[in-house]
Amino acid sequence: MTLSDADVQKQIKHRMAFIEQEANEKAEEIDAKAEEEFNIEKGRLVQTQRLKIMEYYEKKEEQIEQQKKIQTLKVLRARDDLIADLLNEAKQRLSKVVKDTTRYQVLLDGLVLQGLYQLLELQCKRQSQCTKLLPKNDVDVQIDQESYLPEDIAGGVEIYNGDCKIKVSNTLESWLDLIAQQMMP
């Protein structure tokens, strides 16, 4: 059974269509696979670049935080230097206060009185009768004629109770130190 030219042409067209369809399907598969690989590679590149950008900005943030800390330390150091300068200037002025005998005597009277009040201050329970323990009007104050404040102290007084167990330091330097502690953070 021989085929006619028309049948042969028909079979050739049919096979060509089949081959073309298979080629198109293969091309579509290749395109789909290429697209998938492209998307995977694109995603990988995007993720890599995103990580690089995040690392870059994290480093920048760390640098900014470090700069903030450095600036804060500089401000604190400048503040400490300023306070130290002020305290040194105040210590120098203390000697001038002592030289003005009228002003210094008023100051010294106040420091002694304040120290005595601190030594006499009692704290009792509410039901206790502390008033019986208080001296009536006489306070025995003794001035130590043998030991004096050190020479580096500008002035003021140190007051002790009778058995020298309690000390109230009301020197000018102790007050200056108290002020300095309150100024410090």
Residue-wise pLDDT for 53-94, tens only, equals: 999 999 999 999 999 999 999 999 998 899 889 888 988 888
Domain assignments of the chain as residue spans, ordered by start? 1-98, 100-123+153-185
Express each pLDDT in 134-168 by its tens digit: 555 566 777 878 888 888 888 888 888 877 788 88
Q: Model-level pTM?
A: 0.54
- Cα angle: 64, vertex 69, 75; to 5 degrees: 125
CA torsion sign, 117 to 119 to 123 to 127? negative
